[in-house]
Structure formats: C-alpha cells, structure tokens
Amino acid sequence: MFEQYQCDGLFDEMFVDGNTPRAHYASVANRLAAMGSEAFSRRVRMADMTFRNQGITFTVYSDTRGVEKIFPFDLIPRIIPADEWNLIERGLTQRITALNLFCQDIYHDQRILKEGIIPPELIYGAKMFRREMFHVNVPKNIYIHICGTDLIRGKDGKYYVLEDNGRTPSGVSYVLENRSVMKRVFPALFSAYRVRAIEDYPHNLMQTLKFVAPPHAQDNPTIAILTPGIYNSAYFEHSFLARQMGIELVEGRDLIVENSFVYMRTTAGLRRVDVIYRRLDDDFLDPLCFRPDSCLGVAGLMNAYRMGNVALVNAVGTGVADDKAIYPFVPDMIKFYMGQEAIIPNVPTYICAREADRKYTLDNLDKLVVKATNESGGYGMLMGHQSTKAEQDKFAEMIKADPRGFIAQPVVELSQHPSLIGDAFEGRRVDLRPYILYGEKPIVMPGGLTRVALRRGSLVVNSSQGGGSKDTWVLEEEDGEAAPSPLPAGTEMLVTT
Amino acid sequence: MSQLASSTATFNLNAPSRPMLARDADSMYWMSRYVERAEHIARILLVNSNVLTDVGDLTPHLQQRQWQSILTIFRLADLEPADSKGDVSVATQIVKYMTFDEKNPNSLLNCIARARENARSIRENISTEMWENLNTLYWSMSEDAPARFEDSPDTFYRAIMTGSMLFQGLTDQTLAHDQRWHFTQLAKYLERIDITSRVIETKFTILRSAEAMLEAPIRNIHWMAVLRSCCSIEAYRKAYSGDMDPLRVASFLILRRDFPRSIRYAVSKAHDAIAAIRRDVNPGAIDSAERVLGRLDAQLEYAEMSEILIEGLPAYLQKLQASIDVAAVEVQKAYFLH
C-alpha cells in the first residue's frame, strides 16, 4: 500500500524517505502494509458509521441540503514522540501564560504600549479590542481559560505557531471522539503503543470553570454552556461537553438577567447561574452592550459580568490577543512579561498596517499567504502561489483600502502525513491544534486535533474547507530507547472482524 | 473506618433532582410525543394495508373511506381529489403521503425527524442509548428507505414500530425516573390517548354506517383491525373469545384497567406523571393540567359503558379529546413558557 508513496521533498511525519518509516511509526507501517487496502477501507466504513450513528457531525453553512456532515476521519494515527511533545507542552504553557498577562495588561495599565513594544494603533485598530473591558477585573485575572493553538511543521521539521485561538476554539470534542472510535476500530494497534490518555479533559475543563466561580456560589456553583443553538456548526461539541461535565446547555433565550444576576428559566422558575462557558462571540453576548440585533445573547449579561456576579469563560475581549496583526508580537510579549525567549517560534509575518511590510506584501502577492486579521476558519485568505492574477488584484485593492485588516506570511510547506486516498496511501498536509486550559495552573492536553487537508496539494486544513482529522497519539516517556512492542500481523483481524 | 463513615455521611442520596430548563422540558415532551406518534402511524398504515388485502371485495367507496379515515385520525385534511385517479391510487397516494411526504407535518418521516431534532437539542439530558437508537432510526428513513419500503412495506413499518418501542424501553431503563422521565411519560400517554380515542371514534363511525352491508366474518375482520391498530388484539382475545362485538371492543379499548394500550390506563399514567412533576416543581399546590387529568382519571375509574352509550360514543370521545387538549395546553403554560 505504500509502494507508490512519495515524500515530495516535504517533511513527512511518518517516513524518513519514500519507504523507511520513522522509528515511532514502525509498528503502524508494518501493520498497515500487512493489512491491505480492502481491510483498511472496511475499518474506514466502520468508523464513519459509528460517527453518523452517534450523531458526531458538524453543520456546513453553504450547503442547502444535508447540512449535517461527518467530519472526515482519517484512520492512520499521527504519532508524536515524548521528547517532541515535551517541547510543545513547555512552549504552549509559556504562550498561554504570556497571552493572559497581555490581556490583563492591555485592559489595565497598558505597560506594553507605554514601553513601545506594541504600537498602540494596532491595539486600538483591532476589531476585537473591547473598550467595555477597560479596568474591568475578571476573576483570578484569567482571560483565556481555554486556548487552541495551531501548530505546523515546516520543511525543516521544526514546529511553528501558526495562530492562537483564544476566543472560542472548537474541535476538542472530535479529539475525544476520534480517540474513542480509534480504540474501537484498531484496539490491538492502539495497545501496542503507550499512548497518553486524554480522557480527563472534561474533568480538567470543569475544574477550570469552577476555579473562576464567584464567591457567592461557594462550593456549588451552577455552571452552564451557552450555545447559539442546534444550527451552529459546533453544536455537537457544545452538547458533548455539557454531557461530559454534567452541566446545563443553555441558549440565550433560556437566560435572563435580574438585579445584575443571571438566571436560567427552569420548569420550577428562575435559578441563578454562576459560571458561563460561552460558545458565542463577544459581538452576540449582550444586545445592550454589543450588537443590538443579536437574538442569541442575554440583555444585561455584561452588566452582571462587570459586577462580578457571573464569570464568563473565556473572558470578553480576548480577541485582541488572537488578532492576526497582534500575533507577530507574541514572542515580544513572552520576553516582556516573562523575561524568556519563545520556545516555539512564530511564522514570519508582514503586518500590512506598516508601510514597508505593506509594500513588500503588495510586491510579492504571488508568493505570500494573505490573511484577513479578523477572520477564522480559512475564510478571507489568499494563497498567493495558487492564485490567479485577478484574485491577487482583488486582494491588492482590499489591502490598500484597509491595511490594518491584513497580514501576509511566506507559504509554509506544511508537513505531510499518509492518508488513504482511493486504495493507496498518499501524503496530505497536516497541522496540529492542541488545547490548553488555564485554571489553577496551565494544563496542556497530551494530544490535540490533527487536521488534514484532504485535497491533494492543499494547504488549508479547516473543516469548513474540506479538511479531515486524525487521532493524535502522544507517547509516554520511554525508559531508554525501547521501541513500541512489535505487533504480530493478523492480530487486528481477530479482534474486530 | 471512621473516616469512611464520615465521608459517606456527606452524600445526600435523596437530594431533590436538579431543576430542568423549561426549554429542555418542552423538547423532552415533544421528542416523546413524536416517537409515540410515529409508532401509531406505522402500525395504522400497516394494519390498513393488510385488512384491505384480507377483504378484497369491499366497495370502492368503503375502501376509500377506510384510507381517508387515516387522515382524519391524524387531523389532516383530505388530499386533493385532483391527484387521485381511481381507488388504487388513493391507497398509494395516502400511503406515500403518510410515510415519506416532507410537506405532511404528520408523515412518518417528519415525526421521526422532529423527534430526533428535539432529542438533538437536549442530547445532554437523555442517555446515549436513547440518542443512538433514535438517531439510527432517523438515518434509516433516508438513503435507500424508499427502495426498502418498495421491497416490503410490512418489514419497513415493523422496523419503525420496533425502533419506537425500543426507544420507550431505553427511556425506562437508562434514564433516572426524575422530572425528565416524567415529561416523556406524560407526553407518551397523552399522545396515546389522543390517537386511540380518534381511532375508535373514526372507525366506529365508518363501520356503524356500513354495518348493514357487512356480513359477520367481514365485520369481525374490521373490528380486529381496529384492535390491531391499537396493538390490542392479543390482549383482547385473552380477555374475550368469540365474535368481535363492537361495543365490547370499544369498552376494552376505553375502560380496561390493566392494559397499557387502553385509554383508562394511559390517563391514569399521565395523571401520575403530571402529579410527580408538580410535586417536584411545586409541592404546595395542584396545577391545572393535573386537575384536568385527575378528574378524567376518576371519571374513567368509575365509568360504565352503558352510561357512555347514553351520551353516544363519538360525543363521549370528542369530549375526552377536548380534555386532553386542555391538559396539554396547561402543561405548556405551567412548565414550558417561563
């Protein structure tokens, strides 16, 4: 099945070259080679069926029919050895700490502006900078309680941070479900490795939420997840997390603010809510404070929040930290607040708001990736090397009209990983989104969402753009250099068919 | 040892159940009603097809009335006669309309889709078993469903009925019997009362008007079909043997104390459910829905078939449906519209 496999000069996660697997992939490679594509396809169908019957789906907005889709699941696991993970874990812990210090600073003393580290106009020009949060004290000074940071690997095999998602990152439910399906479909292969468990994520998330409960809730806060509703693309995840934590899943219309406290409408009347894990953008939270046309939020919520009567997770205004024009300054933040060098580097970024960067960007549109600073999900992007002249001209106009709205980065040749395409394995580009919780202390979930660009040659991995996902195995620290135990061929057959 | 004792003492196993979101209660209720409705639709369509095969020589007019009575039971307007060409196509037309038509709010397809949509919005309130069962049932209505239906309508409808009953069983066995469960029970029994009473009323009216023309064996088949439509034929036979006496069938379906498909049984369970919900939410007072169902329960408890007949069976059943409607509206006001 790997006979035709090509590394194409890219960094391949699984192979050193066309036919030599990396040591930590040896068991997987042997097993797959012995299995054949038909048996493998059977497992793919089995997994797809499981996802559908369990209702593990997401909603695509542009589709008129069949709005619910299965997130394509790519059965070959992505494996990360312990030493690599060590670096990632330290890097992400450092990063979420710096981002939280930054949010606290930017909404209070603004030392980082006063000392000239970040130009103030970039902050004040950020769409997600919330003046409403100025001098508001948030519980325990935590702003970003949950962060999903996108990592990529370049041709050199080094990890880079592509972006931080510090607002309402999604995908963690797929990480947990992918793992549970994987264990079901490939039990023997899974147990041949010592994979670090991720199943305590909901528990850790619950602790993170409890940690910021207002004092009046004492030991028994009422915690709810606020969802935009069942038509939201991430609804499955909202419902999944509510279920895993045993907390309420509420919509805006279930909540009401009275005397600056938040209540939910129950069959027995109103009940106070103390912590809200909101999966709703700032803009929609409170029609009295932000968008007046929002029907998804709760009138008066911001007031209750500012009075400290309810905790919001993540805090309002964290979008300023994951603005794409602020992103280039994260290494500076790390140095400024923590006196450290960034452990995981950024991708070099040109900020179009700066004249020299803008000129460079406009001159090299055919070589750069241009991104709108306030978009996510792979929307509002120009992939320079794959674009037409007309598209480049359109972006040039847009950049000139709104320089603050764009950044540019060199094309990073993402690492690739084998995926089953038809009946053979082909390389497809991948990234990695680990999830970091920040409560009493930062916790990095050992694993994450490996997203795959399933279209050949594509560098865009977002699920809204035809991406799939893989289970991600972070291996336990080995004593010595012991490789995973070899798996006798045929074992898998006995277990599952 | 003492440590163990002191730590267990802090668990309060009788703590009152957690309050439930009004919207969740609403969805719980409708999920359950639609599942119950789907089961009845599948059974009634199946029984009607079979009975008309059994008594092949019915007049076209009576056949047509039989099919149209299904629409009456589910409160649907008659189909445009322009679409119907001859008797066979009325049957085909109504079967299609009641099974797969997306425009018919009470088609099987729509009932299952709505049940599942409600379940999806309260996924965290129901068990995984319930969800996966209902979700699988939902997907079984798409894709190759029309082809499987063509192969064997019988198998198709039976799968729906089994799926629905499996859901009821899972609800009983995987959900705590707290307020959430009581809402599913209330909904299930209200739906059952409504449909059962409409089946009896509609069929009674048709068969009465045609009775003079029907010979005893044919009449028996029709009344057996009524019992089958209510999933009651076997229980009835265990209780009575011999001819299908229309009044005995009606009194069995209305007044039987110990049979889950009878109206009396369902009213009593619905009454229990609403009383349990009210005790949970508002221990101090009786609410309007409970009052309506409580009175109905008591009335059926002491009812006599002969008295019902003095009033006239159809009139009696219509009054009963009206009470059920009032109860449903009161439930909505008291619990869903906070």
CB contact, 8 Å: B277 with chain A?
Answer: yes
In this prediction, residues A221-243 reach a mean pLDDT of 93
A234 or A114, greater pLDDT: A114
Cβ–Cβ < 8 Å for A412, A367: no
Please give the angle made by the CA atoms of B309, B310 and B314, to the nearest 5 degrees: 50
**Highest-pLDDT range among A481-485, B30-34, B102-106:** B30-34
CB contact, 8 Å: B16 with chain A?
Answer: no
CB contact, 8 Å: A53 with chain B?
Answer: yes
d(CA A93, CA A479): 25
Pairwise CB contact (< 8 Å): A266 & B136? no
Cβ–Cβ < 8 Å for A326, A122: yes
| DSSP calls for B297-327 | HHHHHT--HHHHHHH-HHHHHHHHHHHHHHH
Please indicate, yes or no, if residue B169 is contained in any of the structural domains: yes
B139 CB neighbours in chain A (<8 A) are 52-53
Pairwise CB contact (< 8 Å): A250 & B124? no
Question: How confident is the prediction for chain B on average, in pLDDT?
Answer: 88
A250 CB neighbours in chain B (<8 A) are 21
Q: Which of A283-297, A340-354, B42-56, B179-193 has the lowest mean pLDDT?
A: B42-56
Same-domain status, A75 and A133: yes
Same-domain status, B259 and B112: no
Taking phi over 0 as left and psi of -120 to 50 as alpha, with beta for the rest, A58 belongs to beta
Closest of B39, B96, B40, B38 to residue B67, by C-alpha: B96
Who contacts B247 (Cβ-Cβ below 8 Å, separation ≥6)?
B305, B309
Pairwise CB contact (< 8 Å): A250 & B117? no
The DSSP call for residue A316 is T
- B123-166 confidence digits (pLDDT tens): 999 999 999 999 999 999 987 898 999 999 999 999 999 999 99
Q: Nearest Cβ partner of A267 from B120, B123, B335?
A: B335
Please indicate, yes or no, if residue A92 is contained in any of the structural domains: yes
B16 CB neighbours in chain A (<8 A) are none
Q: How far is A54 from chain B (nearest CA, A)?
A: 5
Cβ–Cβ < 8 Å for A147, A438: yes
Pairwise CB contact (< 8 Å): A243 & B132? no
Residue B9 has pLDDT above 70, yes or no: no
CB contact, 8 Å: B143 with chain A?
Answer: no
Same-domain status, A31 and A169: yes
Peptide bond into A346 cis (omega under 30): no
Q: What is the pLDDT, as a whole number, of residue B85?
A: 54
Same-domain status, A427 and A315: yes
How many Cα atoms are found within 13 Å in the side-chain-facing hemisphere of B214?
18
Please indicate, yes or no, if residue B99 is contained in any of the structural domains: yes
d(CA A61, CA A68): 9
Q: How far is A461 from chain B (nearest CA, A)?
A: 27
Same-domain status, A397 and A467: no
Same-domain status, B183 and B99: no
Neighbours of B52 (CB within 10 A): 18
The pTM of the full predicted model, rounded to 2 decimals, is 0.87
Q: What is the pLDDT, as a whole number, of residue A480?
A: 53
A269 CB neighbours in chain B (<8 A) are 338
Pairwise CB contact (< 8 Å): A243 & B135? no
Phi, psi of A459 (to 5 degrees): -110, 5
- Locate B158 and state its tokens: 């039976």
Locus of tokens 């916790």: A443
d(CA B178, CA A266): 14
**Which of B174, B190, B217 corresponds to the end of one domain?**
B174
- Locate A383 and state its tokens: 């992939």
B17 CB neighbours in chain A (<8 A) are none
Q: Which residues pair with A79 in a beta bridge?
A: A473
Percent of chain A with pLDDT over 90: 67
Which residue in chain B is spatially nearest to A227 when comparing CA positions? B121
Structural domains counted in chain A: 2
Q: What is the pLDDT, as a whole number, of residue A420?
A: 85
Give the range of the structural domain holding residue A398, as residue numbers without chain letter. 350-410
Same-domain status, B170 and B211: no
Residue B284 has pLDDT above 90, yes or no: no
Same-domain status, A166 and A68: yes
- B52-91 confidence digits (pLDDT tens): 777 766 677 778 888 889 999 999 988 875 454 555 578 8
How many Cα atoms are found within 13 Å in the side-chain-facing hemisphere of B4?
1
Q: What is the pLDDT, as a whole number, of residue A496?
A: 32
Q: What is the pLDDT, as a whole number, of residue A63?
A: 46
Same-domain status, A359 and A450: no
Please indicate, yes or no, if residue A435 is contained in any of the structural domains: yes
d(CA A423, CA A38): 7
**Which of A358, A389, A410 corresponds to the end of one domain?**
A410
**Which of B131, B154, B174 corresponds to the end of one domain?**
B174
Going by DSSP bridges, is the β-strand pair A146-153/A275-278 parallel, antiparallel, or unpaired? Answer: unpaired
In this prediction, residues A493-497 reach a mean pLDDT of 34
Query: How many angstroms separate the Cα of B47 from the Cα of each of B43, B83, B147, B191, B275?
Result: 6, 24, 21, 19, 35
Q: Nearest Cβ partner of A264 from B21, B281, B335?
A: B21
Q: What is the pLDDT, as a whole number, of residue B17?
A: 67
The DSSP call for residue B21 is B
Locus of tokens 């703590």: B15
Which residue in chain B is spatially nearest to A57 when comparing CA positions? B120
Q: What is the pLDDT, as a whole number, of residue B1?
A: 44
B4 or B74, greater pLDDT: B74
Same-domain status, A359 and A451: no
CB contact, 8 Å: B279 with chain A?
Answer: no
Phi, psi of A464 (to 5 degrees): -70, -15
- B299-338 confidence digits (pLDDT tens): 999 999 999 999 999 999 999 999 999 999 999 999 998 6
Please indicate, yes or no, if residue B90 is contained in any of the structural domains: yes
Which residue in chain B is spatially nearest to A230 when comparing CA positions? B121
Question: How confident is residue A64, by pLDDT bands cut at 50, 70 and 90?
Answer: very low
Same-domain status, B145 and B194: no
Task: Describe chain A by its helix, strand, coil percentages, rounded to 5.
Answer: 35, 25, 40
**Which of A389, A410, A431 corresponds to the end of one domain?**
A410
Same-domain status, B224 and B335: yes
B9 or B210, greater pLDDT: B210
Q: What is the pLDDT, as a whole number, of residue B81?
A: 59
How many Cα atoms are found within 13 Å in the side-chain-facing hemisphere of A260?
8
A376 or B231, greater pLDDT: B231
Please indicate, yes or no, if residue A164 is contained in any of the structural domains: yes
B219 or A137, greater pLDDT: A137
Residue A494 has pLDDT above 80, yes or no: no
A264 CB neighbours in chain B (<8 A) are 21
Q: Which of A199-208, A328-337, B170-179, B283-292 has the lowest mean pLDDT?
A: B283-292
Question: How confident is the prediction for chain A on average, in pLDDT?
Answer: 89
Same-domain status, A372 and A482: no
Please indicate, yes or no, if residue A47 is contained in any of the structural domains: yes
Please indicate, yes or no, if residue B16 is contained in any of the structural domains: no
Pairwise CB contact (< 8 Å): A53 & B338? no
Same-domain status, B151 and B260: no
Residue A374 has pLDDT above 70, yes or no: yes
Taking phi over 0 as left and psi of -120 to 50 as alpha, with beta for the rest, A135 belongs to left
CB contact, 8 Å: B280 with chain A?
Answer: yes
B227 or B79, greater pLDDT: B227
Give the range of the structural domain holding residue B83, as residue numbers without chain letter. 30-174
Q: How far is B40 from chain A (nearest CA, A)?
A: 24
Same-domain status, A316 and A397: no
CB contact, 8 Å: B132 with chain A?
Answer: yes
Task: Note which residues in 225-244 of chain A have CB less than 8 A from chain B.
Answer: 229-230, 235, 239-240, 242-243
In this prediction, residues A158-165 reach a mean pLDDT of 95
In this prediction, residues B34-53 reach a mean pLDDT of 92
| DSSP calls for A418-475 | EEEETTEEEEEEEEEE-EEEESSSEEE-SS-EEEEE-STT-----GGGTEEEEEEEEB
Same-domain status, B155 and B272: no
Q: How far is B146 from chain A (nearest CA, A)?
A: 17
Q: What is the pLDDT, as a whole number, of residue A65?
A: 46
Same-domain status, B149 and B218: no
Question: Which one of A48, A54, A267 would you mutate to disrupt binding with B, by most B Cβ within 10 Å of its Cβ?
Answer: A267
Locus of tokens 């019997």: B177
Query: How many angstroms separate the Cα of B248 from the Cα of each of B233, B251, B258, B262?
Result: 12, 5, 16, 13
Residue B297 has pLDDT above 90, yes or no: yes
Task: Note which residues in 198-227 of chain A have CB less than 8 A from chain B.
Answer: none
Please indicate, yes or no, if residue B23 is contained in any of the structural domains: no
Task: Note which residues in 104-123 of chain B have CB less than 8 A from chain A.
Answer: 117, 120-121, 123
Task: Describe chain B by its helix, strand, coil percentages, rounded to 5.
Answer: 75, 0, 25
* Rg from Cα positions in chain A: 23
In this prediction, residues B176-196 reach a mean pLDDT of 96
Residue A211 has pLDDT above 90, yes or no: yes
d(CA A143, CA B35): 44
Closest of B212, B95, B236, B43 to residue B223, by C-alpha: B236
Pairwise CB contact (< 8 Å): B132 & A239? no
Structural domains counted in chain B: 2
d(CA A303, CA A305): 5
Same-domain status, B141 and B199: no
Same-domain status, B190 and B162: no
Same-domain status, A106 and A207: yes
Same-domain status, A107 and A145: yes
**Which of B141, B174, B207 corresponds to the end of one domain?**
B174
A266 CB neighbours in chain B (<8 A) are 19-22, 338
B66 or B196, greater pLDDT: B196
Phi, psi of A220 (to 5 degrees): -130, 60
Percent of chain B with pLDDT over 70: 91
CB contact, 8 Å: B135 with chain A?
Answer: yes
In this prediction, residues A152-175 reach a mean pLDDT of 94
In this prediction, residues A354-383 reach a mean pLDDT of 86
Q: What is the pLDDT, as a whole number, of residue A40?
A: 86
Residue A103 has pLDDT above 70, yes or no: yes
- Locate A145 and state its tokens: 């309680």
Question: How confident is residue A488, by pLDDT bands cut at 50, 70 and 90?
Answer: very low
CB contact, 8 Å: A52 with chain B?
Answer: yes
Please indicate, yes or no, if residue A235 is contained in any of the structural domains: no
**Which of A382, A410, A438 corresponds to the end of one domain?**
A410
d(CA A214, CA A287): 23
Please indicate, yes or no, if residue B118 is contained in any of the structural domains: yes
Please indicate, yes or no, if residue B285 is contained in any of the structural domains: yes
CB contact, 8 Å: B131 with chain A?
Answer: yes
Please indicate, yes or no, if residue A234 is contained in any of the structural domains: no
Task: Note which residues in 253-282 of chain A have CB less than 8 A from chain B.
Answer: 253-254, 264-271
Q: How far is A251 from chain B (nearest CA, A)?
A: 9
Pairwise CB contact (< 8 Å): A55 & B23? no
In this prediction, residues A63-89 reach a mean pLDDT of 84
- B237-267 confidence digits (pLDDT tens): 988 887 788 889 999 999 999 999 999 999 9
d(CA A112, CA A116): 6
Same-domain status, B85 and B219: no
Cβ–Cβ < 8 Å for A464, A60: yes
The length of chain B, given as a count of residues: 338
Which residue in chain B is spatially nearest to A253 when comparing CA positions? B23
Please indicate, yes or no, if residue B20 is contained in any of the structural domains: no
Please indicate, yes or no, if residue A150 is contained in any of the structural domains: yes
Domain with A401 in it: what CATH number?
3.30.1490.270
Render the burial of A151-160: b for 16+ CB within 10 Å, e for the rest: bbbbeeeebb
Q: Nearest Cβ partner of B135 from A55, A230, A248?
A: A55
B25 CB neighbours in chain A (<8 A) are 267
Same-domain status, A388 and A431: no
Same-domain status, B184 and B151: no
